[in-house]
Amino acid sequence: MKYIAYHRTSTLEQHLERGIAEITQFCSDNSISLYKGKVYCDQQTGKNFNRPWYQILKNEIIENGDTLIITELDRLGRNKKLILDELRFFHDNNVRVMVLEIPTTLIDFSKFDNSIASMMHETINNMLIELYANLAQTEIEKKEKRQREGIEQKRLRGDWDDYGRPRVMALDKFAFYYSAVEQGRKRPFQLMHELKMTRTTFYRYIHELKQNKGNKN
C-alpha cells in the first residue's frame, strides 16, 4: 500500500507551498511515508481533471489499496459532478481518499468492529463530501460571475477590446505615438516593435484610429 499526496492550485493562486507544507506536516505527525517522498502538484484550473500529474497518478501510479491524500476537496477539483465521479472511481478501485479539511475522511472505516457505527460514520462522511463539493462548485461559479461582471463594466467604460482582451494602451496614447509614422519620422514596423505589439493588434489600432478620424470629419 502506498500513500500518495496530490495538490492542485490555479496559476493565479498562491496555495502551492502552503498546501505542500500542510500535507508534509500531517504525514510527519501521523508517521506516514509518502510515495517517492514528495507531493505531486499541478498548477492548473480545477474546472476539469485534464492535468498532467493527476492523470499520471490516477492511471499509472495509484493502485488498489493505496491512499490518496489532499488538503481540501477544491484542491482536487471545482466541478461537483466531476469531483464525485472521481471519488466514486477511487472507491470502486479500493483507493482511500483522505481530505485533511474533512475529519471523517481521516477515519479508517475498515477498522470498525461495529458495522452500524461504520455505516453511520461513512454516511456522515459522504454527506460532508457532498457539502464540500457543493461549496467548491459554488465558489468557482461566484468567481466566474464576478469576472463576467468585471468584463461587462470594462466594456461599458470602453476599456475592453477585441472580445474581452484588455487594451494594450488607450487609443489616444497610440495616436500620439503613431503620429511619428504619419509624419514620416518612423516606419510602421519600427513603432510596432517599440510598442511591443503584435502585427494584428498594431493594425487593429490603426484601423480604429482611421475610423475615429473619419467619424470626426
Taking only the tens place, the pLDDT of each residue in 86-123 is 998 998 999 999 999 988 888 876 666 666 656 666 66
More confident residue, 93 or 139: 93
CB 7 within 8 A of CB 71: yes
CB atoms within 10 A of CB 134: 13
Query: What three-state secondary structure class fits 130?
Result: helix
Q: What is the pLDDT of residue 38?
A: 93
Beta strands in the chain (DSSP E): 3-8, 34-42, 67-70, 96-99, 160-161, 165-166
Rounded Cα distance between 27 and 157, Å, is 51
Scanning the structure block, which residue is given the C-alpha cell 514620416? 184
CB 1 within 8 A of CB 66: yes
Q: How large is the average pLDDT for residues 79-91?
A: 89
Percent of the chain with pLDDT over 90: 31
Low-confidence winner among 10-24, 31-45, 123-137, 158-172 (lowest mean pLDDT): 158-172
Task: Single out the residue of 211, 192, 6, 215 nearest to residue 97, CA to CA.
Answer: 6
- Alpha-carbon torsion, ordered 148, 153, 154, 160, to 10 deg: 60
Query: Residue 216: pLDDT band by 50, 70, 90 thresholds?
Result: low
CB atoms within 10 A of CB 146: 10
In Å, how far from its chain's centre is CA 161?
25
pTM: 0.59
- Alpha-carbon torsion, ordered 104, 107, 113, 115, to 10 deg: 30
CB 72 within 8 A of CB 101: yes
Rounded Cα distance between 118 and 65, Å, is 19
Query: Residue 163: pLDDT band by 50, 70, 90 thresholds?
Result: very low
Low-confidence winner among 117-121, 151-155, 172-176, 193-197 (lowest mean pLDDT): 117-121
Q: Please provide the average confidence, as pLDDT, over all residues in the chain.
A: 82
Query: What three-state secondary structure class fits 34?
Result: strand
Q: What is the pLDDT of residue 61?
A: 95
Summarised one tens digit per residue, pLDDT across range 8-22 is 987 655 568 888 999
Beta bridge partners of 146: none
Q: What is the pLDDT of residue 119?
A: 63
Query: What three-state secondary structure class fits 198?
Result: coil
Summarised one tens digit per residue, pLDDT across range 192-211 is 888 888 888 888 889 888 88
CB 87 within 8 A of CB 125: no
Q: How large is the average pLDDT for residues 186-195?
A: 89
Rounded Cα distance between 18 and 31, Å, is 20
Angle of CA points 163, 206, 161, to nearest 5°: 15
